[in-house]
Amino acid sequence: MVLKFATNVSTAQTDYGTVLLDERAGEYWELNPTATLVVNILMAGGDEADAAAALAGEFDIDLAQATDDVEALVRQLRTSGLAG
């Protein structure tokens, strides 16, 4: 599944992750390095399993927890209207 930000969302990479601006609502969102890793994998064409595996490897958490975290992040991005 390719993740794609909505057209009204601007992004900026920082030393601490990624900042999102929802131009429609005028709200900023900050993705920490963990979320940034997941989003980058999904936007590059990887699926949630790929993102969970990378998360588990990079941050030394078990795969089940990583899978739950990836699913929660994607759900929150979609529910907020930031991504589709």
Q: What is the 3-state secondary structure (H, E, C) of 10-64?
A: EEEEECCEEEEEECCCCEEEEECHHHHHHHHHHHCCCCHHHHHHHHHHHHCCCHH
Q: pLDDT tens digit string along 26-78?
A: 999 999 999 999 999 999 999 999 999 999 999 989 999 999 999 999 999 99
pLDDT score recorded for residue 2: 76
Predicted TM-score of the model (pTM): 0.90
Q: pLDDT tens digit string along 14-29?
A: 999 999 999 999 999 9
